[in-house]
Amino acid sequence: MVIVGGGKAGARAIVGLRGYGWEGSITLINAENLMPYDRPPLSKAAITDEAEPLPTSLLDLDMMTSLNVNHMRHTSAIDINRGSQTITLSNGSKVLYHRLLLATGAAPRKIPLEGGERALTLRDFADARKIRHAFATGKSVAIIGGGFIGLELAASATKYGCKVTVIESQPRILMRGVPDEIAGHVAARHASAGVTILTEVSVVQINPRSVVLTDDREIDAEILIAGIGAAPRTALAQKAGLAIDNGIACDTKMQTSDPFIWAAGDCCSFPHPIFDNMRMRLESWRNASDQAVTAVENMMGASRDFTAVPWFWSDQYDLSLQIAGVPGLGLSTVRRNLRDGAFIVCHMDADGRLVGASGIGRGNTIARDIRLLELLIGKKARPSAVQLSDANFQLKGLIKTDIAA
């Protein structure tokens, strides 16, 4: 068994293979010179903690040794010969595979303007350290992109006393899958921390210490950060002739167009059985883990569909935001007000089916209800608006009932 990619999906696959009884060899090809580590802390703790950060290991050296993994660090896979089932590495050596898992992740998108190369991006531990050391009291920070990464970095920058401006080309921040009322709540919290959010404007010129916008305003930018999304890393798969469709194209079992190759995580797209086989690509920590589990089972000879409900979270300041399902499929919403100002927006399709839930609150105030709503989404449930809007109604009671059509 060979795994390309040392992130969450790759690490989870290793544990899964041994857990499901694979006794043969496991080789991990990892382009970084580190043990597999967790990425969610990179935009938060790795930047804001007082102590110099260390990677949050998913598998340390002792664990890799006990799992008997051949860990090829600081090495990239540059070619796959599907006929001979051989991988060529950047050091010129070759590795044979019986089954192959591609967990190559995604790469931050670059700013396509002259001077765009000075913009920092965040994807790995080295990026986080670079941003951490750049932040300092009084520094002007311009962040292009009002998505989750950009906003998490904005929140982190305020802890250093930076002057932060977020520049978003869309009418509001968090346009992808987050309802207006939650986005407005997040924007207000950033404003209270001193962050300036500019919407419906784009950068047209990058200067050494500033950027110029489409409305001719010039914004101070001693530190420039690009948070404009990520592109799936598909070059290796594409070179090997695998099908590509907004990522490495997989079926419901996370198998690629080659019967001996699977993919998991940010690098791949797949049809989701719970959402009428709509093809999607998910960039989230838990998705990478869940897909790796499904891929490993099928690499071991099972035939299991990937049916986990999408789930994502973001921590900004004292707020926790969680999203379950695919809110963008909803045509109507029901609001569920919880304690301490927390609330959840439930998203329903044309048939009244629950397809998404978006919540925001302090601490763990939304966690339990979001988890129950996630289970209901997985059941293709159609709870009533009265049940969803009443915070005293116990959603747990619906889990065991047959409320799906």
pLDDT of residue 401: 74
Segment 24-83, tens digit of pLDDT:
999 999 999 999 999 999 999 999 998 998 999 999 999 999 999 999 999 999 999 999
CA nearest to 191, candidates 323, 317, 81, 355: 317
Distance CA 15, CA 11 (A): 7
Closest Cα partner for 153 from 229, 225, 54?
225
Question: Per DSSP, what are the bridge partners of residue 166?
Answer: 143, 197
Kindly tell me if the per-residue pLDDT of 268 is higher than 60: yes
Tokens of 334: 């029901």
pLDDT attached to residue 176 = 84
Q: Residue 362 above 70 pLDDT?
A: yes
Q: What is the topology classification, in CATH, of domain 110-226?
A: FAD/NAD(P)-binding domain (3.50.50)
Stretch 241-248: mean pLDDT: 98
Q: Residue 405: its pLDDT value, please? A: 43
Give the position of tokens 């339990």.
368
pLDDT in tens, 175-192: 987 999 999 999 999 999
Residue where the block lists tokens 């059985």: 273
Per-residue confidence (pLDDT) for residue 402, from 0 to 100: 61
Distance set, CA 226 to CA 134, 141, 200, 233 (Å)? 14, 11, 16, 18
Contacts 24+ apart (CB under 8 A), 246-252: 246/279, 246/281, 247/281, 248/102, 249/279, 252/277, 252/305, 252/306
H/E stretch holding 132 reads helix 125-134
CB-based contact 381:404 (threshold 8 Å):
yes
How confident is the prediction for the chain on average, in pLDDT? 96
Name the architecture of domain 2-107+230-299: 3-Layer(bba) Sandwich (3.50)
- What pLDDT shows up at residue 170? 97
Phi, psi of 236 (to 5 degrees): -65, -45
Q: Tokens standing for 122?
A: 């965040």
Tokens 């990478």 sit on residue: 288
Q: What is the pLDDT of residues 230-241, one digit of tens each?
A: 999 999 999 999
% of the chain with per-residue pLDDT over 70: 99
For residue 399, what pLDDT band results from cuts at 50, 70 and 90? Answer: confident
* Domain ranges within the chain, ordered by starting residue: 2-107+230-299, 110-226, 318-399
CA neighbor of 19 nearest in space, from 302, 308, 293, 301: 293
The 10 Å Cβ neighbour count of residue 382 is 16
- Count of beta carbons in the 10 Å neighbourhood of residue 48: 17
Query: Domain 318-399 class?
Result: alpha beta
Closest CA to 178 of 388, 379, 356, 367: 356
Give the three-class secondary structure for 55.
Answer: coil
- Backbone φ, ψ for residue 105 (5° rounding): 70, -155
CB 255 within 8 A of CB 275: no
Where is 234: in which H helix or E strand? none
Angle between helices 8-19 and 285-299 (to 10 degrees): 40
Strands in 218-220's sheet, in edge-to-edge order, are 203-206, 210-213, 218-220
User: How many residues comprise the chain?
Assistant: 405
Place of tokens 């919290």: 189
Rounded to an integer, the average pLDDT of 91-108 is: 97
Fold match, 2-107+230-299 / 110-226: yes
Six-digit token string for 269: 């797209």
Bridge partner residues of 315 (DSSP): 320
45: enclosing H helix or E strand: helix 45-48
Strand bridging mode 86-89 / 163-168 = unpaired
Least confident stretch, 98-107, 176-185, 366-375: 176-185
Give the residue among 232, 233, 242, 298 at the shortest CA–CA distance from 81: 242
* Continuous H helices in 271-384: 285-299, 367-378
Percent of the chain's residues with pLDDT above 90: 96
The DSSP 8-state label assigned to residue 276 in this structure reads T
Distance in angstroms (rounded) separating the CA atoms of residues 309 and 294: 13
The number of angstroms, rounded, from the C-alpha of 144 to the middle of its chain's C-alpha atoms is 18
